[in-house]
C-alpha cells in the first residue's frame, strides 16, 4: 500500500529528530535522508524512496526546508539527478542501482553525459566512438563534445558503437564510464559568455568493465532514449515558484526602471509573463504524470517552450535595461560547475540563453518528436535507417 502524506510527514520528522540539521554534517544528513527513503519518494524502497506517489515529494521538501536542512545542491549535480539516475533505475542491475544511486543523490559523485560528438549531435545515432570487447572488458576510443561538468565529474553516462555492421540505431551500447580512468582527457570549450562550462572529452583506449554496461549489448539506443526524455523534462520542466526564473528577473527590472517603460514593452512583458505561468503550471502537471524513469515525448514540448521563452524574456530584459543592457560583468575564463541564470547579470542571461535551443536536443529535432509522437503526423523519410553504419557517408 502506498504511503500517505501524513506517513511521509511523520517519517520526515523522525529523520529530523534523529539527525538534527544544526548538529549533523550536511553529508551525513543527506546520506541519512537517502536511507530513510526521502530522497526520491517515488523510487523503490532501499533506493532512496518509499514507492510513494511522486506528488508527495513537495511534502518532504517543505518540511526539511522549514527545519533548515541542507539540500544536495541540485544545480551542481543536475545531470546525475535528471538523466543518470532515472536511466540507472530503469535499465540498471540491482548491483548498479545500489552502487551508484546513493552517492549520486548526495552529491558525493558528480556525473556528466558523453553523448554528442563533432559529427553526431542532432543525429546522435550516427556517433562514431567505438567500443570493442575483450573478455569482460570494453576498450573505448573516440571523441565527445559539448559535455557539461566533465571537468568536475567522477562518472559519465556514455554511448558507444559496438557493431559497425548494424544500422546506426542498432549497433550502440550504453556504458557507465569512470572519468578518472587512464585515457580520459577533458579540454575546456570557451563559450560566447566567456566561460567554459562545456568541454570536449577524448577517450583513448579507456577500459570499461562489462559490469558497467547498462542494458544489453546493442540496445544502447533504447537505453539512451530514457536518458534523453528525462533530460528534456529536467531542463524544461523544472519546479519554479510563481514568477520564478527568468520572468521574475524581467519583471523586477520592469518595476525598478519606470523611466524606460513603454506601452509596447509593457504588452510584451504581460504576454511573456502569461506564457511563463502557463509553462510553469504545465510543467507541474507533467511531473505529476511521470512514472519513475519513463517520461514520454511531452517533455520535448516542455523543453521547446523553455528555450523559446528564455530567449524572448532575456531579450526583453536587455531592452528594459536600456544602455545598461549592453554591459557584461565578467569575461574571465571561468570553469563553473553549473549554469546560473538568475544569479548573474542580464548580459549573461541574454548570451547564455542562445544555447537553450541547442542543448538537450535541438529545437528542430524536438519539433519532429512532437509532430510524430504527440500529434501523430507522418514521419519524415529516413533513407539511412536500415543501412549498416559502416556504409554511411561521413
Looking at the annotation, which residues are catalytic?
231
Q: What is the dihedral of CA 122, 292, 59, 5, to 10 degrees?
A: 160
Distance, CA of 290 to CA of 287 (rounded, Å) = 5
Residue 52 CB contacts under 8 Å (≥ 6 apart), including other chains: 2, 3, 8, 41, 42
Q: What is the dihedral of CA 255, 257, 259, 262, to 10 degrees?
A: -60
Contact (Cβ atoms closer than 8 angstroms) between residue 183 and residue 206: yes
**3-class state of residue 142 by DSSP:** strand
Distance, CA of 141 to CA of 138 (rounded, Å) = 10
**3-class state of residue 341 by DSSP:** coil
Q: Is the dihedral of CA 114, 343, 336, 67 positive or negative?
A: negative
Q: Which residues pair with 213 in a beta bridge?
A: 175
254 φ, ψ (degrees, to nearest 5): -60, -45
Contact (Cβ atoms closer than 8 angstroms) between residue 110 and residue 153: yes
Q: Rounded to whole angstroms, what are the CA distances from 140 to 100, 207, 214?
A: 21, 6, 15
At 62, which helix (H) or strand (E)? helix 57-66
Write out the three cell numbers for 29.
544528513
Amino acid at each position: 500500500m502506498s504511503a500517505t502524506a501524513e506517513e511521509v510527514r511523520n517519517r520526515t520528522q523522525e529523520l529530523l529528530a534523529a539527525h538534527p540539521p544544526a548538529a549533523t554534517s550536511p553529508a551525513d544528513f543527506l546520506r541519512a535522508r537517502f536511507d530513510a527513503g526521502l530522497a526520491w519518494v517515488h523510487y523503490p524502497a532501499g533506493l532512496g524512496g518509499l514507492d510513494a506517489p511522486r506528488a508527495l515529494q513537495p511534502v518532504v521538501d517543505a518540511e526539511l526546508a522549514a527545519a533548515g536542512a541542507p539540500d544536495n545542491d541540485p544545480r551542481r549535480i543536475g545531470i546525475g539527478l535528471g538523466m543518470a539516475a532515472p536511466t540507472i533505475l530503469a535499465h540498471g542491475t540491482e548491483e548498479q542501482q545500489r552502487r551508484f544511486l546513493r552517492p549520486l543523490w548526495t552529491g558525493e559523485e558528480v556525473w556528466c553525459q558523453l553523448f554528442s560528438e563533432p559529427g553526431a549531435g542532432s543525429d546522435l545515432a550516427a556517433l562514431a566512438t567505438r567500443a570493442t570487447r575483450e573478455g569482460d572488458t570494453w576498450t573505448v576510443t573516440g571523441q565527445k563534445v559539448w559535455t557539461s561538468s566533465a571537468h568536475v565529474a567522477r562518472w559519465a553516462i556514455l554511448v558507444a558503437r559496438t557493431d559497425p555492421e548494424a544500422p546506426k540505431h542498432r549497433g550502440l551500447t550504453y556504458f557507465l564510464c569512470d572519468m578518472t580512468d587512464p585515457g580520459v582527457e577533458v579540454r575546456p570549450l570557451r563559450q560566447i559568455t566567456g566561460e567554459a562550462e562545456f568541454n570536449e572529452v577524448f577517450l583513448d583506449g579507456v577500459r570499461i568493465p562489462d559490469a558497467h554496461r547498462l542494458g544489453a549489448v546493442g540496445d544502447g539506443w533504447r537505453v539512451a532514449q530514457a536518458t534523453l526524455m528525462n533530460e528534456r523534462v529536467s531542463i524544461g520542466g523544472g519546479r519554479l515558484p510563481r514568477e520564478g526564473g527568468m520572468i521574475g528577473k524581467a519583471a523586477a527590472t520592469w518595476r525598478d526602471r519606470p523611466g524606460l517603460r513603454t506601452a509596447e514593452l509593457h504588452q510584451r512583458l504581460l504576454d511573456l509573463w502569461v506564457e511563463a505561468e502557463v509553462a510553469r503550471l504545465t510543467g507541474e502537471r507533467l511531473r505529476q504524470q511521470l512514472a519513475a524513469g519513463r517520461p514520454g515525448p511531452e517533455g520535448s514540448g516542455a523543453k521547446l517552450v523553455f528555450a523559446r521563452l528564455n530567449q524572448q524574456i532575456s531579450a526583453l530584459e536587455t531592452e528594459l535595461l536600456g544602455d545598461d543592457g549592453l554591459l557584461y560583468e565578467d569575461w574571465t575564463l571561468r570553469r563553473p560547475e553549473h549554469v546560473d541564470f538568475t544569479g548573474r547579470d542580464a548580459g549573461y542571461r541574454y548570451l547564455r540563453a542562445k544555447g537553450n535551443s541547442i542543448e538537450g536536443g535541438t529545437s528542430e529535432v524536438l519539433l519532429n518528436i512532437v509532430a510524430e509522437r504527440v500529434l501523430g503526423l507522418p514521419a519524415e523519410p529516413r533513407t539511412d535507417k536500415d543501412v549498416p553504419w559502416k556504409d554511411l557517408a561521413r
